[in-house]
Amino acid sequence: MKNIVFFFLVLMLAIQPAAAEEFKPEDMTTFMLQVPHGVEGNGLAVGGSNLSAYLFFESYYEGNMNVTMELDFPEGFVLRDTPVHSFSLQTEYEDWYRLVDFYVPADISPGTYNITATAVVEVEGNKHTIVRGTRLKVASREEIAGEIAVSGLTVPSDEDGYGDHSHPASTLVIRETSPALKKLLKVTDLQLDREELTSTYIGVELTNKGDSTVPVIITYDVLDIKTEEPVKAFKPAIMGMNADTLCYATVTLSPGSSSLVSLPLYISEGAMGGEYLLRVKVKLTGSDWVAVTKDQKITAISRKWGPIIITLVSSLLGLTAVSLFFSRSKEIMDRFKTRNLVLIALFGTVSFAAINLPMTILWELSHAVFGPFSFLFTGLFHEILLYMLIASLVVLIPKPGVVSLFMMVRFLLGGFITGSFTPITFITLSLSAVVLEVLMYAAGITGKNPAPENRFRMGVICGIADMASGYASFSVWMVLYRLFYSDWYIMANILIDGFLYTFIGAWFGISLGNRLKKVAE
């Protein structure tokens, strides 16, 4: 019996709960109040703001506790949520938090308001009260506008908002996606949409000169400098979302501090170069009121790969062809009989007398009257007559090099008589000569067994060559002379002037050549 009593005593001692740890509310809990959310210390708000207060409670007590929390706002503030919250925490490190929305009325008097949160913690039947308080300063708009400033704006910046000397300040480069890159992306199956690419960042430095912590939201707009309307190309829809949902930053400014934030700047391919106005807006969190704006003029430079590459390739092709000719001039010229050279020179004279000379004034006059549509008129003379001469010359002398010599005579004659030694003339004529020579040789019009009498073939070859040189000429105008042309205009020009008129000219040039052949015989 004694043994049984002893056994039960031991068992009771073994299973008896440990003596309850003494609950110390401040040591065994964390209770936090932030008004507005994110602000540690005194917050700042402006009338008309919708804000959230942040309540956080965490237990370090190894046991149950029931908490009743009450948030107390001064009169005038409008709570959007219930002020009293009850919850239980079961274990150590368990926590509870809640965002309590409230509204600061627009007509509330400016001043500093005390906000308190009271937590009544019930542990094992004992109630403990913990109180937290914070102050919210409601300031007038003028006061806030005077306290926050955008002290620096860096465009473009790196991902952290710092300026980079390797890029010109206040300048954006709009790059057309490189054709090589596009091809690479296609090959590697990375179908990246250009609009999804971040082009650059804007660095915004904010200063809080006041004595309150201010949570702010920073956004920006790229505006038309004249109308101040936002330019959509700088805020394209990204993955179906409005760019505004991505192009913002939030920061909490401590009293007397400065912060640097960066904002992504997206540029769509349709963006145009020119002058823009970058407007950075700073709003207080919870309010739509823009506290501070800062404008900066920015320049967007449009870099189009297509025309640049075409200009470069055409220039290199022209220079290579001329260098090749100069280095092997004797060899090339010896292929031609003296009478061939004389005939080419005389054809050059006729082309100059019949086309270049009248066109010197006619071209400019029709350009002045009909504007860019003058090509419909001038092409009739220029393209038809020129290709009549070229086709007839090839019928008379079907040798490789004849077109190049003809073009060279025209270029030099034009240079000496009308001073038209221009880069455009050089590039266009040299490209035209190279393309014509290659295509004519490949099509069997010139060469060992020449067959230049086929009108259709001659028309198509000359048409293609003129289209190529016409397109290159537009690229050169755009790159070297900084002129603008619409795509539809370039297309119309090279189709009508480049192909149609040239085809007609070459077609009739064969008839002319055949007639002249009879004269020569």
Partner 1 sequence: MIGARSIAEPTIKDTIIHRMDPRAKILVLISTAFVAVTLDNPKTMFLLFLIVLSGFALARMPAIKLKTLTLLLVLLIWGTIYSQALFYSQLPRTVIFTILDPDFPVLGWLTNGGLFVYEEGLRHGAIQGLRSASILSLGLLMCWTTDSRDMLNGLVGLRVPYSVAFMVVTAVRFLPIIITEVVTVVTVQRLRGFNPKRFGSGIVKTSLNILTPTLSNCVRRTGTLAVSIQSRAFRANPDRTYLKKLKFSELDKAMVTVCIFAAISIVTIKLLYNMYTSGIYYTSGLRPVYAIARGYL
Cross-strand pairs, 507: none
| Secondary structure of residue 59 in the 3-state scheme | strand
Residue closer to partner 1, measured from CB, 115 or 385: 385
Q: Is 180 in the site for partner 1 (CB under 8 A)?
A: no
- 208/147 Cα distance (integer angstroms): 6
Site for partner 1, residues 483 to 512, rule: CB under 8 A:
483-489, 504, 508, 511-512
Residue closer to partner 1, measured from CB, 55 or 155: 155
Residue closer to partner 1, measured from CB, 60 or 481: 481
Residue closer to partner 1, measured from CB, 441 or 489: 489
Residue closer to partner 1, measured from CB, 448 or 518: 518
Q: Which of 298, 382, 395, 307 is nearest to 343 (CA)?
A: 395
Q: Is 448 in the site for partner 1 (CB under 8 A)?
A: no
Name the CA dihedral angle for 16, 17, 19, 21, rounded to a multiple of 10 degrees. 180
Q: Is 413 in the site for partner 1 (CB under 8 A)?
A: yes
Q: Is 388 in the site for partner 1 (CB under 8 A)?
A: yes
Residue closer to partner 1, measured from CB, 261 or 267: 267
User: Cβ of residue 438: shortest distance to partner 1, in angstroms?
Assistant: 21
Question: What mask, x for binding partner 1 by CB under 8 A, covers residues 155 to 174?
Answer: ----------xxxx--x-x-
Site for partner 1, residues 223 to 242, rule: CB under 8 A:
224-227, 231
How many chain residues are in contact with partner 1, going by CB under 8 A? 91
Residue closer to partner 1, measured from CB, 210 or 401: 401
Q: Is 4 in the site for partner 1 (CB under 8 A)?
A: no
Residue closer to partner 1, measured from CB, 25 or 513: 513
Question: Are the C-beta atoms of residues 387 and 347 closer than 8 Å to each other?
Answer: no
Question: Are the C-beta atoms of residues 201 and 263 closer than 8 Å to each other?
Answer: yes
Q: Which range of residues in 4-12, 88-96, 349-357, 456-464 is near partner 1 by CB under 8 A? A: 349-357
Residue closer to partner 1, measured from CB, 70 or 158: 158
Number of Cβ within 10 Å of residue 107's Cβ equals 7
Residue closer to partner 1, measured from CB, 417 or 438: 417
| Member of 120, 302, 447, 454 binding partner 1 (CB under 8 A) | 302
Q: Which amino acid is at 395?
A: V
Question: Are the C-beta atoms of residues 298 and 276 closer than 8 Å to each other?
Answer: yes
Site for partner 1, residues 72 to 111, rule: CB under 8 A:
none
**What's the distance, CA 132 to chain centroid?**
49
Q: Which range of residues in 24-32, 247-255, 301-309, 446-454 is near partner 1 by CB under 8 A? A: 301-309
Does an H or E element contain 418, and which?
Answer: helix 402-418
Phi, psi of 263 (to 5 degrees): -125, 140
Alpha-helical runs (H) found in 300-337 = 305-327, 329-334
DSSP characters over 359-417: HHHHHHHHHHHHGGGGHHHHHHHHHHHHHHHHHHHHHH---TTHHHHHHHHHHHHHHHH
Does an H or E element contain 44, and which?
Answer: strand 43-46
Place of tokens 């109630």: 127
| Member of 18, 126, 449, 482 binding partner 1 (CB under 8 A) | 482
| Member of 105, 111, 133, 372 binding partner 1 (CB under 8 A) | 372
Q: Which range of residues in 104-112, 125-133, 218-226, 239-247 is near partner 1 by CB under 8 A? A: 218-226
Site for partner 1, residues 309 to 338, rule: CB under 8 A:
326, 329-330, 333, 337-338
User: Cβ of residue 167: shortest distance to partner 1, in angstroms?
Assistant: 6
- 328/101 Cα distance (integer angstroms): 86
DSSP characters over 235-259: S--BTTB-GGGTSEEEEEEPTT-EE
Place of tokens 């019996």: 1
Question: What mask, x for binding partner 1 by CB under 8 A, covers residues 240 to 279?
Answer: --------------------------------xxxxx---
Site for partner 1, residues 114 to 133, rule: CB under 8 A:
none
- 38/217 Cα distance (integer angstroms): 13
User: Cβ of residue 486: shortest distance to partner 1, in angstroms?
Assistant: 5
